Amino acid sequence: MAKKKDITGDLSTEEKIKEAARQVFTKKGYAATRTRDIAEEAGINLALLNYYFRSKEKLFEIVIMEKMQLLLGKIGPVLTDEKTTIEEKVEDISEHYISTLIANPDIPLFVLGEIRNNPEKFANLIMTKTKIVNSAFFKQLAARRPDIDPLHFIFNMLGLIIFPFIGKPLIQLITGIPSERAVVLMNERKKLIKTWFQAMLDAK
Amino acid sequence: MAKKKDITGDLSTEEKIKEAARQVFTKKGYAATRTRDIAEEAGINLALLNYYFRSKEKLFEIVIMEKMQLLLGKIGPVLTDEKTTIEEKVEDISEHYISTLIANPDIPLFVLGEIRNNPEKFANLIMTKTKIVNSAFFKQLAARRPDIDPLHFIFNMLGLIIFPFIGKPLIQLITGIPSERAVVLMNERKKLIKTWFQAMLDAK
DNA sequence: AAATATTTTAATCATTTGATTAAAAATTGC
DNA sequence: GCAATTTTTAATCAAATGATTAAAATATTT
């Protein structure tokens, strides 16, 4: 066997390809990505991509599942936790996701775009992973505000957290704010969202 | 001249192609769309697409500009209006956009995705169209809450309005709510967002 | 060091896809 | 009704793209 491991900090060929695929796929989406882009980004011969991963589709599968896990992995357990309050859940999710998204700002648009292009494909995966409607969070919201559909507050929370990352290219074009300031703003939101969410819950 | 107009309710060939292009482009994005898809959707010969519009790119240009206008056209004038209050602006934008997006739910993901893929292309267009940072809305927000960056409230407003439409495929997969109920929810938000926004503004 | 197994490369294939062309069909002006 | 113009069609092109192959290079085992 001549298996090369990632020696001396350098990545193995396989890992170089995967990392390049993460970059290119998340930035441009599946359809706009050419396998040659990935090969170039990874600095490897195009044929190696198929040697290690069989096909563009298979490589994509790996990347999208990773990113989906990153976007959806945390939410289920938190929302179904019977022991925490609404406020604790919101703060937990807010802090966790903003940190994750600062490190991976392209994920939401990427994942949501691919779901749009292929809803059937992800249906099973997502449904098993997260059952919001029967969660503790849902019941807590319904008890606190029986007059408003709990889904509204789910939308609100996710909108406050995720939208800035989706809308960033637009807002950055409109306002011209530098990306360092954008990061500062996002960090501020970690705490602010909790307060805002409470205010919305109590609004009459 | 043998110019065919859309007689007896039927569309002209040119308009049939444009309408098909709207459908396919907004649903799948530029890269994932094949000119053959559009031709098939329009029920016309593929060559007619190039006969009327020269190229896929040119046809796309028309569609994306239309949709961008729909997404961004209203916001500038409202935000720069010196005569209206914060609350009136929020209500106006909220009602207008939710109505528009119920009729065109694919627009946000489409437009934001294409901006992501080609930020330079839209830079000029967007900057001239909307200068939020010097708007009356911005100043009003800064006066009302000097302790919080007004951009946060821009994000909040747009997030509350737009996110449900972007996240709908995801939420629909997660919750399994039927799309009629989704429309009901979106209509409810028209009024609710105004209240929520006020609550966030006053939150301490 | 020789034999074997693995990895990498350059060349090439087959399909897809945006676009063109030349001829046919339909429409219009006279 | 006939000539001119416009629209539509079928066939085809050229470039792009995902994938394969056979040979070369490299690493591993004995």
A73 to chain B, any CB pair closer than 8 A? The answer is no
* Residues in B touching A116 (Cβ below 8 Å): 27, 106, 109, 169
Q: Are A193 and A86 in contact (CB under 8 A)?
A: no
**pLDDT string in tens for chain B (204-residue length):** 333 333 233 788 999 999 999 999 999 999 999 999 999 999 999 999 999 999 999 999 999 999 999 998 899 899 999 999 999 999 999 999 999 999 999 999 999 999 999 888 888 777 666 678 889 999 999 999 999 999 999 999 999 999 999 998 888 877 778 888 999 999 999 999 999 999 999 998
State the Rg of chain B over Cα.
20
* Residues in B touching A130 (Cβ below 8 Å): 174
A196 to chain B, any CB pair closer than 8 A? The answer is yes
Smallest CA-to-CA distance from A199 within B37, B118, B203, B49 is with B203
- Name the residue in chain A with its Cα closest to that of B31: A32
- For chain A, domains (ranges, CATH) are 11-54 (1.10.10.60), 62-202 (1.10.357.10)
pTM given for the model: 0.91
Taking the mean position of all CA atoms in its chain, how far away is CA A72?
7
Helices A107-117 & B150-175, crossing angle to 10 degrees? 30
